[in-house]
Structure 1
Amino acid sequence: MASTEHESTFDDPVQALRLIEDERTNTRRQVTPDPRLMYWPWGLTWLISFGLSFLRYGPDGRILVSMPEWVPLTALTVLLAAAGIFTGIVGGRSARHIEGPSSRQGMMYGISWSAGFTALAIIFSRVSDGLPDSALSLLWGGGMVALVGVLYLAGAAVWDDRDMFVLGAWISLTNIAGVICGPGWHALVVAVAGGGGLLVAGLVGWLQRR
């Protein structure tokens, strides 16, 4: 009796293993968000908002480009909220395919981001009175970036993700270097190295996914 196509496929162990691996890959693609959609919004947010901060509050108090004082901080707040909402929607669409502990982990991790940013925003708004503009920019920028780095490191520990750990460590080191350099320089370092690092992470993750 002639063999069917499925029978001939599974008669070959190598072909069977290849089929199983293809199915695993397809499943991972369904439940894992596109890295570009998860990292690039944050990278663009940092490039734009911290770039504006550098132009308005440059090193040694220099104003490289004249603009209202509220523009950099407002841009940072609005773009952070937009990036958070966008990546939350993307992550939520992927998470709908997942049930059980992994789904709860993702939900709690997302809540941690919202809770962390909300807490810092409230704290910083309470202690900002009386600070000069340069120190205010460093406080908000350095604090928010520090939180992002720690959250990426925590996420790497939860999911045993080496790439996320490297990204979290890079963001943390970049932030520390910028804070040490001082107001003005911090914004430039975070915009270029931090925002650029997020864009690179999204590209590398996408290439690995392919």
Structure 2
Amino acid sequence: MTPIDDDAPPLDPAESLALIERERHNLGRDLAPDPRLMFWPWGIAWLAGFTLFFLRFGPDGRVFVNLPEWLPLVALALLMVAAGITTGIAGSKVSRRVTGPSTRQGAMYGISWSIAFTAFSILFSQFSDLLPEDKAGLLWAGGMVALTGALHMAGGAVWNDRELFALGAWTSVINIAGILIGPGWHALIVAVAGGGGMIVAGLIGWLRLR
């Protein structure tokens, strides 16, 4: 008589552990947002936006491309708003399927970003008029990138995510290098190494999920 499922012999311990690990991996992949949607929009925003800053406000006041002065800032702001909307939608699709402490952690982490960037913006606006234009630009860009790196490292520590922590550390290191080299070069370094780093992080995360 052909055995039915109930008559099948039980798996040995090794096969059982392998099956459990495989199902855990599949569940984690289904519940995790696509890393490309979480990192690529920000990487593209930094790459394009800070490149415009470099072309218009280059080192030692050099103008590589005679763009309107308002264009780099407006372009970067619009790109970052679009990135925020994209990652917000991608994250909300996942959070609707998950409840419990992890959902609260994600919400508190997102609120931390909003409050921290608002506080830094208010602080910098009080002092930027007292600085030369190139130094004021470096204050804003360097401060915001520093905050991004710190929050990425904090997120990596909260969720035990080594890739996110490494991205935050990388962002912090290249930001320090750009600040030390000076205005103009900072924008180029953040565009290429910062934006490019986010694009690479999204690709690595996607390959790991696959």
* TM surpasses 0.5: yes
Shift of 1:125: 2.6
Q: Structure 2 regions of 5+ residues with no counterpart?
A: none
Shift of 1:12: 5.0
SS at match of 1:81: helix
Corresponding residue for 1:22? Answer: 22
Contact 1:39 1:199 in 2 (8 A): yes
The answer as to 2:195 corresponding to 1:180 is no
For 1:202, the aligned partner's letter is: G
Shift of 1:182: 0.2
Shift of 1:132: 3.0
SS at match of 1:129: helix
Shift of 1:7: 5.0
CA distance in structure 1 between the partners assigned to 2:122 and 2:7 by the alignment: 64
Among all aligned residue pairs of Structure 1 and Structure 2, give the percentage whose two residues are the same amino acid: 60
The answer as to 2:77 corresponding to 1:77 is yes
With over 3 angstroms needed to count, the CA separation of the structure-2 counterparts of 1:99 and 1:63, relative to structure 1, is: same
1:49-68 equivalences under 5 Å are 49-68=49-68
Corresponding residue for 1:32? Answer: 32
For 2:142, the aligned partner's letter is: G
Contact 1:152 1:164 in 2 (8 A): yes
For 2:3, the aligned partner's letter is: S
Corresponding residue for 1:48? Answer: 48
Corresponding residue for 2:153? Answer: 153
CA distance in structure 2 between the partners assigned to 1:32 and 1:59 by the alignment: 41
Corresponding residue for 1:131? Answer: 131
Corresponding residue for 2:209? Answer: 209
Shift of 1:77: 1.9
CA distance in structure 2 between the partners assigned to 1:127 and 1:99 by the alignment: 43
With over 3 angstroms needed to count, the CA separation of the structure-2 counterparts of 1:192 and 1:7, relative to structure 1, is: farther
CA distance in structure 1 between the partners assigned to 2:198 and 2:98 by the alignment: 26
Instruction: Count residues with an aligned counterpart.
Output: 210
TM-score (norm 2): 0.92
| 1:162-193 superposed Cα distances (whole Å, 9 cap, x missing partner) | 11111110000000000000000000011011
CA distance in structure 1 between the partners assigned to 2:52 and 2:113 by the alignment: 24
With over 3 angstroms needed to count, the CA separation of the structure-2 counterparts of 1:125 and 1:75, relative to structure 1, is: farther
Shift of 1:85: 2.1
TM-score (norm 1): 0.92
Shift of 1:209: 1.1
CA distance in structure 1 between the partners assigned to 2:103 and 2:91 by the alignment: 11
With over 3 angstroms needed to count, the CA separation of the structure-2 counterparts of 1:68 and 1:133, relative to structure 1, is: farther
Corresponding residue for 1:142? Answer: 142
For 2:167, the aligned partner's letter is: L
1:187-206 equivalences under 5 Å are 187-206=187-206
